[in-house]
Amino acid sequence: MTQEAAIEVTGLKKLYRGSGKTAPVLALDSIDLTIPRGSIFGLLGPNGAGKSTFINILAGLVRKTAGSAEIWGFDLDKYPRNARNSIGVVPQELFIDPFFTPFETLEMQAGLYGVPKRARRSREILRMVQLEDKADAYSRTLSGGMKRRLLVAKAMVHSPPILILDEPTAGVDVELRQQLWENIRKLHAAGTTIVLTTHYLEEAENLCETIAIINHGQLVACEPTEVLLARIDEKEMIFDLAEPLDEVPAGLKGYNLHLERPDRMVIQVNRSTTTVGEILESVHQAGLTIRDLSTSETDLEDVFLQLTRPSSGEDQVPSDDQVDD
């Protein structure tokens, strides 16, 4: 394992053996993945792709079938305690004892990790996630967003260098999502390596420096975000015209073009073969008057759909919580 890697897995495989009439299913198929230290790393994939299985193996909750995993330099098989102590996992589910206060919750969690009382930072962590004023309130009185922040705080009690956030903004409103994004950025700025799984592609595009995509248990992409976005060469140019058209002018029929309405023309552009200047010149030569012009760029959703679109007859990997025999 390189010193620059926070997590490195090689040939990681998980086979759910099934029972009775249920056939064995390969949930992770020989995954090779390196997550750099100090990064915000996105792990994306459809439901049942294997993301949660991957996380649960790292957390010691699921046994891998084959392969190796190292967390912060500790081999998961040789040094399981050190490896698990190097990560904090924030789960999707809001599992919080309603009769404990946030402060008591963090103190109990720190005790489970063997953190001495003199070394505990419960109030400091609550301040970091903006729950200091709720430190002594019963957890059952917290809003959904506050409970999510408390889960982040729980994962930080043993000061892990890696924080894994499993769908941290699932089911929250836009304002709270922005607040959680800001918390993630602050944790990253403080030196924590962040691994983020999310269904919100906008979230991954805004936060993550590198993105890996898992589909049907296989790693189908792992690239810097800007490189991933450059995979699709197309963009759209949308022309609002001063005069409505009955048909496409002869001089523009060589382009991939359609009329969205009589006064709106959309041209699909391959940026590697056609320049914007060429298209504007062709529109001018066709005698059209442009009232307004806008463009639509490739986003992460386009890339994601391209890489994970199922083929006909393709079997689905079962949900990540399927029990292994």
Which residue is it, tokens 């009775």?
20
Task: Report yes or no on whether pTM surpasses 0.85.
Answer: no
Question: Are residues 134 and 124 in contact, defined by beta-carbon separation less than 8 angstroms?
Answer: no
- The C-alpha atoms of residue 64 and residue 72 are separated, in whole angstroms, by 18
pLDDT of residue 321: 45
**20 has pLDDT over 80:** no
pLDDT of residue 103: 95
- The C-alpha atoms of residue 83 and residue 70 are separated, in whole angstroms, by 7
Question: Which positions ≥6 away from 206 have C-beta within 8 Å?
Answer: 181
Question: Are residues 245 and 262 in contact, defined by beta-carbon separation less than 8 angstroms?
Answer: yes
61-112: pLDDT as tens digits: 999 999 999 999 999 999 999 999 999 998 888 888 888 999 999 999 999 9
- The C-alpha atoms of residue 37 and residue 100 are separated, in whole angstroms, by 34
- Would you call 13 helix, strand, or coil by DSSP? strand
DSSP result, 240-291: EESS--SS--GGGTTSEEEEEETTEEEEEEETTT--HHHHHHHHHHTTPPEE
How many percent of the chain have pLDDT more than 70?
A: 91
Sheet of 5-16, strands arranged across? 25-36, 5-16, 66-71, 74-75
130-to-86, 145, 222, 226, 291 alpha-carbon distances in Å: 24, 11, 33, 32, 49
CB atoms within 10 A of CB 156: 23
Question: Which positions ≥6 away from 136 have C-beta within 8 Å?
Answer: 101, 102, 103
122-170: pLDDT as tens digits: 999 999 888 999 999 999 999 888 888 899 899 999 999 999 998 887 7
As a whole number, mean pLDDT of residues 29-40 equals 94
Task: Name the residue among 172, 128, 171, 173 with its Cα closest to residue 150.
Answer: 128
**298 has pLDDT over 70:** no
Question: Which positions ≥6 away from 196 have C-beta within 8 Å?
Answer: 40, 41, 42, 43, 165, 168, 184, 203, 204, 207, 208
Which residue is it, tokens 């390189």?
2
Question: Are residues 259 and 244 in contact, defined by beta-carbon separation less than 8 angstroms?
Answer: no
Which residue is it, tokens 């086979």?
15
The per-residue pLDDT of the chain, averaged, comes to: 85
Domains and CATH numbers, the chain: 5-229 (3.40.50.300), 234-297 (3.30.70.1560)
191-238: pLDDT as tens digits: 999 999 887 778 888 899 999 999 889 998 899 988 887 776 677 889
CB atoms within 10 A of CB 285: 11
Which residues are bridge partners to 88 per DSSP?
A: 163
**317 has pLDDT over 70:** no
pLDDT of residue 310: 62
